[in-house]
Amino acid sequence: MTALHHIRPAVTVAGTVPADAVEPTTTAQVADVLRSTTGTVVPVGAGTKTGWAAPPTSCDLLLSTTRLDRVVEHAPGDLVVVAEAGVPLAALQQQLAEHGQMLALDPPEPGATLGGIVSANASGPRRLRYGTARDLLIGVTVVLADGTVARSGGKVVKNVAGYDLGKLYTGAHGALGVLASTTWRLHPLPPASGAVTVPVHDAAQAGRHAALLSRSTLTPTAVELHWGPDGGELAVLFESTAASVQAQIRATIALLGAGTSADRPPAWFGVRPAGALVLRLAYEPFALPRVLDALPDGASGTVSACSGVGYFAVPPDTDLTALRAAIAPYDGSAVVIAADDAARAALDHWGPVGDSFGLMTRVKDRFDPERRLSPGRLLGGL
């Protein structure tokens, strides 16, 4: 077996400095690490989203999956690909494009790996049409805390073999095990695309536009709103045949009573906001105007207007308790995804603990009874 590669920890994990770091190159090496280590282990991919969960209470060992970087199998006829957790999404997309296919995920973080995308449940504007990682992931290989290698799903889209571990591990931030390999459902690359942009002057208008689009027979790939203190701009993306794209662009302009067509969406499309404090908001989509009105002065960012998910940079002194209370009636949540390391320790990263916390605790105890994997990163300090 190839010797395990130790590295100097190159990243902190939400401000926590790892004591040591390793880069396994095989699933077997990952299993050996977890069997032989008694301390705490935090798995990461390329480190693009380490701030998306609370700081770990300790990190004796950072386990990087970036050298698990093989595309194991691509079956173009079945629209399925098997790729290890450390494969960068951009590299996979390039390989799939040679066959006229794509993995319909578009989180914008440069260098993001498949395992990191699943662990953080990261997505982009195209979630409106294609869904998130939970919807496209059809199989996983994971290494549990005791070194057991477990597999779920298969290499066909309609598969009912075993428990759906993929959904359990999506958004788990490495707290239930280490993702080693992923199997995905693919889509054909669309032959043409085009967009409509519309200025939006206030929250009520944003809500009306989103409602009109949601109730229409149009099939946009994404409906994104760029929002700031002075209003914003709505971008509607269509991807289909050239004739369908042009027809839907015309119909959108007629439906909204305004709009400018373009070959591609604006530069802000799909870009995460930057700032000293960045939040991910989720809420019932109908409540878009109320959520926009609840934002603190100076907030800016983008929101998937028909999906109920937004990313906003807010002032560092934002009252998170008040914001969460304001959007709670709409099943709303506000989660910290970026913050200054010095301030993060004092922040309530996730917000209120819900009714499902008891179930989450039992799942954590079943998969990681000694609480060695990403300790403290999940809701309620799990």
Burial class from Cβ neighbours inside 10 Å (0-12, 13-18, 19+) for residue 107 reads buried
Q: State which H helix or E strand residue 180 sits in.
A: strand 178-185
Report CA Rg, the chain: 21
Distances (CA, A) of 270 to 62, 127, 235, 267, 369: 30, 11, 10, 8, 38
The string of DSSP letters for 308-349 reads TEEEEE--TT--HHHHHHHHGGGT-EEEEEEE-HHHHTTS-S
- Residue 153 is predicted with a pLDDT of 78
Phi-psi region of 378 (alpha: psi -120 to 50; beta: other; left: phi over 0): beta
Distance in angstroms (rounded) separating the CA atoms of residues 75 and 12: 37
Distance in angstroms (rounded) separating the CA atoms of residues 45 and 49: 9
Distance in angstroms (rounded) separating the CA atoms of residues 105 and 44: 19
Distance in angstroms (rounded) separating the CA atoms of residues 141 and 182: 6
Distance in angstroms (rounded) separating the CA atoms of residues 112 and 109: 6
Token pair for residue 374? 């990403």
- Residue 344 is predicted with a pLDDT of 84
The string of DSSP letters for 266-318 reads -TTTTPPP-SSEEEEEE--GGGHHHHHHHSPTT-EEEEETTTTEEEEE--TT-
Is the dihedral angle over the CA atoms 135, 141, 145, 148 positive or is it negative? positive
- Non-local (6+) Cβ contacts of 358 within 8 A are none
- Residue 10 is predicted with a pLDDT of 58
Tokens 């705490």 -> residue: 40
pTM metric for this prediction: 0.93
C-beta atoms surrounding 21 within 10 Å: 19
Do 293 and 325 touch, CB atoms closer than 8 A? Answer: no
Distance in angstroms (rounded) separating the CA atoms of residues 64 and 43: 6
Do 116 and 99 touch, CB atoms closer than 8 A? Answer: no
Per-residue pLDDT of the chain (382 residues; tens, 9 = 90+): 456 666 665 567 888 889 899 999 999 999 999 999 999 999 999 999 999 999 999 999 999 999 999 999 999 999 999 999 999 999 999 999 999 999 999 999 999 999 999 999 999 999 999 999 999 999 999 999 999 999 987 665 554 445 578 889 999 999 999 999 999 999 999 999 999 999 999 999 999 999 999 999 999 999 999 999 998 999 999 999 999 999 999 999 999 999 999 999 999 999 999 999 999 999 999 999 999 999 999 999 999 999 999 999 999 999 999 999 999 999 999 999 999 887 887 899 999 988 888 999 999 999 999 999 999 999 999 9
**Coil vs helix vs strand at 193:** strand
Distances (CA, A) of 337 to 63, 122, 189, 268, 314: 21, 11, 31, 19, 12
The DSSP code for 77 is: G
- Residue 159 is predicted with a pLDDT of 47
Q: Which amino acid is at 261?
A: S
Distance in angstroms (rounded) separating the CA atoms of residues 9 and 151: 29
Is the dihedral angle over the CA atoms 72, 52, 28, 143 positive or is it negative? negative
Tokens 């280590």 -> residue: 37
Is the dihedral angle over the CA atoms 114, 118, 119, 125 positive or is it negative? positive
